[in-house]
């Protein structure tokens, strides 16, 4: 285990309207505000998105199993943002429910909000964390630098 101690910085509250791209919007906010590290919560509705529900097997590199939202769902999630080179990279895990069906996974692409989606971003100061390619997994993962 590795860890660093930081402190909260700015808190940004964002409202995504119907049809807006959640992942692109969070990245855009972090780029515009030069937020280098953050965590965020989201709550509201999603009507589209592709997410990963786990690897096919426990072998490396993992082969992702994809699922897709194709209609409105209630949504709640938690994520982090750290930069890979010159771009903010969002990592979001969420739960998506419709009637009595609930899906959960890592939301990765093709995101579209439904009606309204609220996001609260908390900037994390005094940490030195980036995203970098992990050769064993072939994935871009969180990497702690010397603070």
Q: Which residue has the tokens 């909260």?
A: 8
Residue 31 confidence class, pLDDT cut points 50, 70, 90: very high
The pLDDT of residue 135 is above 90: yes
pLDDT of residue 147: 58
| Per-residue DSSP letter, 30 | H
Q: How confident is the model over 39-48, as pLDDT tens digits?
A: 999 999 999 9
Respond yes or no on whether the N-terminal peptide bond of residue 29 is cis (omega within 30° of 0).
Answer: no
Residue 146 confidence class, pLDDT cut points 50, 70, 90: confident
- Residue 70 CA, chain-centre distance (Å), reads 19
Identify the three-state secondary structure at position 146: coil
Phi, psi of 122 (to 5 degrees): -115, 115
Whose CA is closest to 96, among 42, 17, 38, 40? 42
| Per-residue DSSP letter, 28 | H
What domains can you pick out in the chain, each with its CATH number? 11-52+60-144 (3.30.1330.80)
Whose CA is closest to 89, among 145, 40, 135? 40
Burial class (CB in 10 A: 0-12, 13-18, 19+), 117: buried
Q: Which residue has the tokens 């855009």?
A: 28
Return d(Cα 81, Cα 5) in angstroms, integer. Answer: 16
Q: How confident is the model over 52-109, as pLDDT tens digits?
A: 999 999 999 999 999 999 999 999 999 999 999 999 999 999 999 999 999 999 999 9
């Amino acid at each position: 285990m590795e860890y660093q101690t930081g402190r909260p910085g700015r808190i940004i509250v964002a409202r995504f309207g119907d049809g807006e791209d959640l992942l692109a919007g969070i990245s855009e906010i972090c780029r515009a505000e030069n937020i280098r590290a953050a965590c965020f919560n989201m709550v509201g509705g999603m009507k589209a998105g592709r997410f990963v529900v786990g690897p096919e097997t426990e072998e490396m590199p993992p082969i992702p199993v994809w699922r897709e939202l194709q209609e409105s769902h209630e949504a709640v999630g938690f994520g982090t943002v750290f930069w890979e080179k010159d771009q903010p990279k969002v990592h979001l895990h969420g739960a998506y429910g419709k009637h009595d069906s609930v899906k959960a996974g890592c939301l990765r692409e093709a995101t579209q909000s439904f009606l309204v989606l609220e996001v609260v971003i908390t900037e994390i100061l005094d940490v030195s964390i980036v995203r970098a390619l992990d050769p064993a997994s072939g994935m871009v993962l969180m990497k702690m630098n010397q603070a």
